[in-house]
């Protein structure tokens, strides 16, 4: 597989240094992507870089994932208007272990093949580097004029910037450049990849390799992913979409991809899945014939949820979606784990009730019109019952004498009341 050609048709190629494609066609090449370790989970903004490494490994080359322990302590100025918080070593090591576990779902770290992936942390070689040694061995190789010409520096020092730039951040490109030199020297790494905003930092690395070792190295970047409406990719109202199931439930993860626009889904399915060109072309054509069926979005959500989580999580997310949109059964509802259940009904009105009262049994009228305010009056509840519009835990209720007790609790804690087709209420026993 021609790696560069693969990225090109997938819309994952922005800038490429002359000679890069020839190098990749010539021999097995080691290439790295830097990953910011400021959290103990990757989010979907990291996925483009991870997918670049995955395609690289599929093409027979050797991926290196670099955890930026040292650079994470400084903060990359690219695209930022202010400095970030610095992390301590204990936090960095914890984050690194969590990130490696997630990367192992995408990359082969253990097969023993020549192109087995490796994970490195730049803190390991930077922590012993004294300031004097760094400015003597690295700093003197690159001129201030060269560093000032980079866009990431220009923007922060320009007239529009009110904050300016600290010396710490100014040296960031040198530290990142030295990473490339270190990997080149010790692991034979000849290519660095990243987002298009990293071009300046990456080329500083190739320049350092040339000046410090008379070596040749290469650079390749992908476009920054945006949404068709111009808003930021990977963000929702509640923040980042994380790969960690504790931070973003598989159901919410699935829903994120399912809710993408047609235009975005057509781009994302090339970037974030391993489907072939023929499969994607056929899907796009089928989607255009019947856009209301949202085939692209469904396939995108399926592929990503299985790749990041599991097939079981995907199937549960599909079942959970059916429950919310009226097709689910009481049996499906009880099968959901608590995190999925709460993710599905996030934002619906909630009411608290004493578990002891429930264990004694409460008449349906008392429960829904007195103990809680699911119905404003018993009269409205009676009319809804007569019109067959009330469900408890997805089972229709018609008996006005029904006694609701602890047997109705889902997971020993929740009762789901439904008024009509779309109005849900969550009763929580505590």
Sign of the CA dihedral running 382, 387, 389, 391 = positive
Sign of the CA dihedral running 8, 10, 14, 19 = negative
Helices and strands in the chain: count of H runs, count of E runs = 22, 15
From the list 93, 42, 85, the residue with the least C-alpha distance to 69 is 93
Q: Which of the residues are catalytic?
A: 38, 43, 46, 80, 84, 176, 197, 232, 235-236
From the list 309, 252, 317, 275, the residue with the least C-alpha distance to 102 is 309
The CA-to-CA distance between both ends of the chain, in Å, stands at 58
From the list 251, 212, 427, the residue with the least C-alpha distance to 332 is 251
In angstroms, the CA 356 to CA 335 distance is 25
DSSP letter, residue 375: S
In angstroms, the CA 390 to CA 380 distance is 11
From the list 21, 395, 42, 362, the residue with the least C-alpha distance to 234 is 42
Largest CA distance in the chain: 87
List, in sequence order, every residue forming a beta bridge with 240; answer none if it has no partner: 235
Sign of the CA dihedral running 319, 324, 328, 331 = positive
């Amino acid at each position: 597989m021609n790696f560069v050609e693969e990225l090109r048709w997938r819309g994952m190629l922005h800038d490429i240094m002359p000679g890069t494609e020839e190098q990749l066609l010539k021999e097995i090449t080691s290439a790295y992507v830097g990953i910011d370790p400021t959290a103990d989970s990757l989010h979907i903004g990291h996925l483009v870089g991870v997918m670049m490494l995955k395609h690289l490994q599929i093409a027979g080359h050797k991926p290196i994932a670099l955890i930026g322990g040292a650079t994470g302590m400084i903060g990359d100025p690219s695209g930022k208007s202010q400095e970030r918080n610095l992390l301590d070593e204990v936090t960095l090591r914890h984050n690194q272990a969590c990130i490696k576990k997630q990367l192992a779902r995408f990359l082969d770290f253990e097969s023993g093949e020549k192109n087995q992936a490796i994970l490195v942390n730049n803190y390991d070689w930077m922590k012993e580097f004294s300031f004097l040694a760094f400015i003597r061995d690295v700093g003197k190789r690159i001129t201030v004029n060269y560093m000032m010409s980079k866009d990431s520096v220009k923007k922060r020092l320009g007239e529009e910037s009110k904050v300016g730039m600290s010396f710490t951040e100014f040296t960031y490109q040198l530290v990142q450049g030295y990473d490339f030199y270190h990997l080149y020297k010790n692991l034979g790494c000849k290519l660095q990849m990243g987002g298009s905003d990293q071009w300046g930092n990456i080329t500083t690395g190739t320049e350092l390799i040339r000046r410090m070792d008379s070596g040749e190295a290469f650079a390749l970047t992908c476009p920054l992913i945006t949404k068709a409406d111009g808003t930021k990719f990977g963000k929702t109202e509640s923040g980042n979409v994380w790969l960690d199931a504790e931070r973003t439930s598989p159901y919410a993860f699935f829903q994120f991809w399912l809710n993408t626009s047609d235009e975005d889904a057509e781009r994302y399915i090339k970037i974030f899945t391993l489907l072939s060109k023929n499969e994607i072309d056929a899907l796009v054509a089928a989607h255009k014939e019947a856009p209301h069926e949202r085939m692209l979005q469904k396939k995108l959500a399926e592929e990503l949820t299985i790749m990041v989580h599991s097939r079981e999580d995907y199937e549960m997310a599909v079942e959970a979606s059916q429950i919310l949109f009226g097709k689910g059964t009481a049996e499906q509802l009880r099968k959901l784990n608590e995190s999925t259940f709460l993710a599905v009904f996030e934002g619906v009105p909630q009411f608290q009730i004493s578990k002891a009262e429930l264990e004694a049994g409460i008449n349906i009228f008392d429960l829904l019109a007195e103990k809680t305010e699911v119905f404003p009056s018993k009269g409205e509840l009676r009319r809804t019952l007569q019109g067959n519009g009330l469900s408890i835990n997805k089972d229709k209720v018609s008996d006005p004498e029904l006694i609701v007790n602890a047997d109705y609790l889902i997971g020993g804690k929740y009762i789901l009341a439904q008024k009509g087709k779309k109005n849900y209420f969550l009763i929580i026993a505590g």
